Amino acid sequence: MAPVTIARRTASPAAALASAAGPSRASGVAGDGFGKSLGDRAYDQLLDRMLEGGLPPGTLLQERALAEMLGISRTPVREALAKLESEGFVTRDASRLLVVREVPLQELMEILHVRTILETEAAGIAAGRIAATELAELRAMFESQLAGSPLDAGRVWSADERLHGLIVDSAGNVVLADTVRGLRRRTRMFNLKRLPERFEPGCREHLAIVAALEAGDGAAAREAVAAHLDNTRRSILTKLEPLSGGRGDG
């Protein structure tokens, strides 16, 4: 895997910010849905621009300029930058100023690799331990999504979070569960909005996991979770490789 490096600051960060604002500036952040806080909305818009190349690696990130670009106060921008820094998309240069980091493709692949190890093990242990009623509710949720019920990104994420959380909690290992939740937070940016092509396949993969758990088949549960996470990894690679300048799969 090519090493992840920190890009140098661009010569004209103000120009990058102005270009990134694009036609969406007039709408600001407040128009986004799903009842998100201003900090979450700022995070979404900034991350989108980073992933799409509007805020290229090395761009200097100044709270005031970003707040003006998004049409909001500096406080939610500060919250968004702190979250982006914790996820590795933003870093501090030698002068302790925040800059956009090169897309951490290698780190994301490593996170998904560790998730696969832990979540497949958890699925094998959880098979036969989860109440049938819980699994029936999850099955109904995923089937409803596939049947064409109105698409709600919040509900899609909620179902995904519930299934993965139920699996790691049912494994009976608190350290494993906490570790997986922390790793999932670091890949959560690749949600329905950023990987829309994963909606239907993801639902079907979740149903395969549910079916294995209903059958109490640990081996099948491990295989279903491994396939689901591998397909997620492939989709992220397809999304990020053009921006990363290097491969992340070996």
For the chain, the domain total comes to: 2
pLDDT tens digit string along 69-82? 999 999 999 999 99
* Domain end residue (candidates: 100, 116, 133): 100
What is the per-residue pLDDT for 89? 84
pLDDT mean across residues, the chain: 83
Tell me, yes or no, whether 126 and 147 share the same domain. yes
Please check whether residue 63 lies inside any domain of the structure: yes
For strand 98-100 and strand 90-92, is the pairing parallel, antiparallel, or unpaired? antiparallel
Residue 60 DSSP class: B
First to last CA, the chain: 5
Q: How far apart are CA 244 and CA 104, in angstroms?
A: 7
Q: Higher pLDDT residue, 46 or 190?
A: 46
123 is in which domain, residue-wise? 105-244
Residue 147 pLDDT more than 50? yes
Tell me, yes or no, whether 144 and 208 share the same domain. yes
pLDDT tens digit string along 30-52? 444 446 799 999 999 998 888 77
Tell me, yes or no, whether 199 and 170 share the same domain. yes
What is the per-residue pLDDT for 242? 75
Tell me, yes or no, whether 216 and 139 share the same domain. yes
Tell me, yes or no, whether 91 and 135 share the same domain. no
Please check whether residue 183 lies inside any domain of the structure: yes
Average pLDDT, integer, range 207-217: 98
Q: How far apart are CA 84 and CA 77, in angstroms?
A: 10
pLDDT tens digit string along 77-107? 999 999 999 888 899 998 899 999 876 688 8
Tell me, yes or no, whether 72 and 29 share the same domain. yes
Please check whether residue 48 lies inside any domain of the structure: yes
* Domain end residue (candidates: 76, 100, 124): 100
Tell me, yes or no, whether 113 and 203 share the same domain. yes
Tell me, yes or no, whether 132 and 191 share the same domain. yes
Tell me, yes or no, whether 170 and 119 share the same domain. yes
Average pLDDT, integer, range 155-176: 94
Residue 249 pLDDT more than 60? no
Please check whether residue 223 lies inside any domain of the structure: yes
Tell me, yes or no, whether 111 and 69 share the same domain. no
Nearest-Å Rg of the Cα atoms of the chain is 20
Q: What is the CATH number of the domain that holds 214?
A: 1.20.120.530
What is the per-residue pLDDT for 26? 33
Tell me, yes or no, whether 210 and 190 share the same domain. yes
What is the per-residue pLDDT for 8? 38
pLDDT tens digit string along 223-233? 999 999 999 99
Which residues are 166's β-sheet partners? none
Q: What is the CATH number of the domain that holds 90?
A: 1.10.10.10
Tell me, yes or no, whether 177 and 88 share the same domain. no
State pTM to two decimals.
Answer: 0.69
Residue pointed to by tokens 């294995």: 212
